[in-house]
Amino acid sequence: MISEVKTITEKPSVDIGKAIICFQYVERIKSELIIAAKLLDRLGELNGDELAGASKIYSFFLEALEAEINIAYNVLGMKEFETAGAKVKEAADKAHFSQYEEAVRLISEAISHVASSGQWAMQTLKSNIFSF
């Protein structure tokens, strides 16, 4: 039995490529934001020099995360990433002043904004990939 092989002769749309890149950024950044929220929960358990050192490392982590979110925004131009980056920056400020609950709320909002951009990517991939 010979099966029919379909050859793709059309170049994939730009939307598919953008959706793949978006999906990759969304998944990575969501994971990092979840880690940021979990680390923030643990900061409240520390005191003294431990807290000072952990807070410094945490602020470096959030700076790196904000930079990665900004890269995603620059690559994709999606407003949700810009908003998420602003939320992470604000969360870093709150964490610096030991306002951990408020910082967790802001990280959660950042997760929501990033996830919203992922919905577009997933829908684009579903509608285009299954159409072949």
Tens of pLDDT along the chain (132 residues)?
555 555 545 555 668 889 999 999 999 999 999 999 999 999 989 999 999 999 999 999 999 999 999 999 999 999 999 999 999 999 999 999 999 999 999 999 999 999 998 998 999 888 887 554
Q: Please report the pLDDT score of residue 10 as a whole number.
A: 55
Helix axes 79-96, 48-76, angle to 10 degrees: 170
pLDDT of residue 5: 52
Task: State residue 132's pLDDT score.
Answer: 47
| Residue ranges of domains in the chain, CATH in brackets | 15-129 (1.20.120)
pLDDT of residue 129: 73
State the Cα–Cα distance between residues 36 and 89, nearest whole angstrom. 12
Each as own residue / partner, the long-range contacts of residues 39-43 (CB below 8 Å, 24 or more positions apart, any chain) are: 40/91, 40/95, 40/100, 40/103, 40/104, 40/107, 41/100, 41/104, 43/95, 43/100
The sign of the dihedral angle between the CA atoms of 120, 122, 124, 127 is: negative
